[in-house]
Amino acid sequence: MCRVRCAHHRASRCAQRTLRAIVILLSLSLPLQAADRVVIGSKNFEESRLLAEMFAQLLESRTDLEVERRLGLAGTQVCFEALKSGAIDVYPEYTGTGLVSILGEQAKGGPDQTLNRVRSEFLRRWNVWWLAPLGFENSWEIAVPKELADREHLSTISDLARVSKRLHGGFGHEFVGREDGLLGLERVYGLQWASVDHLQQAIQYQAAKRRDIDALDVYSTDGRLILYNLKVLRDDRDFFPPYEAAALVRGETLAKHPEVGSVLGLLAGSLSEDAMRGFNLRLQEKHESEVVVARDALRSIGLVVKEGSIAEPVSRKPGFLAYLWSQRRDLGRLTLEHLGLSAAALLLGALVSIPLGLWLERHRRWAEAVIRVLGLLQTVPSLALLAFMIPFLGVGIVPAIVALWIYSLFPIVRNTYTGVRDADPRAVEAATALGMTPGQVLRQIRLPLAAPVVMAGVRTAAVLTVGTATLAAFIGAGGLGEPIVTGLQLADSSMILSGAIPAALLALLVDGALGLVERALRPAGLETRG
Partner 1 sequence: MPSEPILEAAGVAKTYGDGTAALAGIDLAVSPGETVALVGESGSGKTTLLRTFNRMVEPSAGAVRIEGKSVADLDPIVLRRRTGYVPQDGGLIPHWRVERNVELVPRLLGWDAARRQERAREMLELVGLSPEAHARRYPAELSGGQRQRVAIARALAADPPVILLDEPFGALDALTRLELHRQFLDLKKTLGKTIVLVTHDLAEAFRLADRIGVMRAGRLLQLGTPEDLAARPADPYVQALLELRRV
Please calculate the CA angle 452-456-459 and round it to the nearest 5 degrees.
135
Considering the complex, state which of residue 210 and residue 426 has its C-beta at the smaller distance from partner 1. 426
Please give the Cα distance from 270 to 129 (Å, whole number): 19
Q: Is 1 in the site for partner 1 (CB under 8 A)?
A: no
Considering the complex, state which of residue 64 and residue 527 has its C-beta at the smaller distance from partner 1. 527
CB 305 within 8 A of CB 298: yes
Burial of 29 (0-12, 13-18, 19+ CB in 10 A): buried
Q: Is 422 in the site for partner 1 (CB under 8 A)?
A: no
CB of 10: closest distance to partner 1 in angstroms?
23
Which residue in the set 251, 440, 509, 517 belongs to the binding site for partner 1 (CB under 8 A)?
440
CB 191 within 8 A of CB 164: yes
Which residue in the set 163, 431, 491, 500 belongs to the binding site for partner 1 (CB under 8 A)?
431
Q: Is 528 in the site for partner 1 (CB under 8 A)?
A: yes
Considering the complex, state which of residue 307 and residue 527 has its C-beta at the smaller distance from partner 1. 527
CB 250 within 8 A of CB 89: yes
Q: Is 384 in the site for partner 1 (CB under 8 A)?
A: no
Considering the complex, state which of residue 187 and residue 364 has its C-beta at the smaller distance from partner 1. 364
Which residue in the set 2, 311, 321, 433 belongs to the binding site for partner 1 (CB under 8 A)?
433
Q: Is 449 in the site for partner 1 (CB under 8 A)?
A: yes
Q: Is 521 in the site for partner 1 (CB under 8 A)?
A: no
> Which pairs with CB-CB distance under 8 Å and at least 24 residues apart come from 20-28?
22/344, 22/347, 22/348, 25/340, 25/344, 26/344, 26/398, 26/401, 28/397
Considering the complex, state which of residue 356 and residue 451 has its C-beta at the smaller distance from partner 1. 451
* Largest distance between two CA atoms of the chain: 93
Which residue in the set 388, 424, 497, 501 belongs to the binding site for partner 1 (CB under 8 A)?
424
Please give the Cα distance from 421 to 413 (Å, whole number): 12
Considering the complex, state which of residue 449 and residue 458 has its C-beta at the smaller distance from partner 1. 449
Q: At what angle do helices 273-284 and 46-62 cross, to 10 degrees?
A: 100
Which helix (DSSP H) or strand (DSSP E) does residue 142 occupy? Answer: strand 140-145
SS3 451: helix
Q: Is 437 in the site for partner 1 (CB under 8 A)?
A: yes
Q: Is 192 in the site for partner 1 (CB under 8 A)?
A: no
Q: Is 64 in the site for partner 1 (CB under 8 A)?
A: no
CB of 412: closest distance to partner 1 in angstroms?
22
Stretch that binds partner 1, among 170-178, 372-380, 408-416, 517-525 (CB under 8 A): 517-525
Classify residue 473 by its DSSP letter.
Answer: G
CB 107 within 8 A of CB 101: no
Q: Is 421 in the site for partner 1 (CB under 8 A)?
A: no
Q: Is 7 in the site for partner 1 (CB under 8 A)?
A: no
SS3 172: strand
Q: Is 527 in the site for partner 1 (CB under 8 A)?
A: yes
Which helix (DSSP H) or strand (DSSP E) does residue 39 occupy? Answer: strand 37-43
Number of H helices, E strands in the chain: 25, 10
Q: Is 435 in the site for partner 1 (CB under 8 A)?
A: yes
Write the binding mask 66 to 85 for partner 1: x where contact by CB under 8 A, - elsewhere: --------------------
Q: Is 445 in the site for partner 1 (CB under 8 A)?
A: yes
Q: Is 454 in the site for partner 1 (CB under 8 A)?
A: no
Q: Give first-to-last CA distance, the chain, whole Å.
A: 40
Burial of 441 (0-12, 13-18, 19+ CB in 10 A): middle
Stretch that binds partner 1, among 178-186, 224-232, 315-323, 443-451 (CB under 8 A): 443-451
SS3 319: coil
Classify residue 165 by its DSSP letter.
Answer: G
Stretch that binds partner 1, among 162-170, 185-193, 438-446, 469-477 (CB under 8 A): 438-446
Please give the Cα distance from 419 to 480 (Å, whole number): 33
Q: Is 436 in the site for partner 1 (CB under 8 A)?
A: yes
Which residue in the set 3, 124, 365, 529 belongs to the binding site for partner 1 (CB under 8 A)?
529
Amino acid at position 326, single letter: S
- DSSP, residue by residue, 274-303: HHHHHHHHHHHTS---HHHHHHHHHHHTT-
Q: Is 364 in the site for partner 1 (CB under 8 A)?
A: no
Amino acid at position 47, single letter: E
CB of 430: closest distance to partner 1 in angstroms?
3
Q: Is 525 in the site for partner 1 (CB under 8 A)?
A: yes
CB 474 within 8 A of CB 79: no
Q: Is 429 in the site for partner 1 (CB under 8 A)?
A: yes
Q: Is 324 in the site for partner 1 (CB under 8 A)?
A: no
Total residues belonging to the chain: 530
Burial of 247 (0-12, 13-18, 19+ CB in 10 A): buried
Stretch that binds partner 1, among 324-332, 437-445, 492-500, 508-516 (CB under 8 A): 437-445
Considering the complex, state which of residue 319 and residue 435 has its C-beta at the smaller distance from partner 1. 435
Q: Is 514 in the site for partner 1 (CB under 8 A)?
A: no
Considering the complex, state which of residue 179 and residue 424 has its C-beta at the smaller distance from partner 1. 424
Please give the Cα distance from 256 to 477 (Å, whole number): 26
Q: Is 439 in the site for partner 1 (CB under 8 A)?
A: no
Write the binding mask 458 to 477 for partner 1: x where contact by CB under 8 A, - elsewhere: --------------------
Which residue in the set 14, 376, 384, 427 belongs to the binding site for partner 1 (CB under 8 A)?
427
Q: Is 434 in the site for partner 1 (CB under 8 A)?
A: yes
Stretch that binds partner 1, among 37-45, 183-191, 255-263, 435-443 (CB under 8 A): 435-443
Point out which residues bind partner 1 (CB under 8 A): 424, 426-427, 429-437, 440, 444-445, 448-449, 523-530
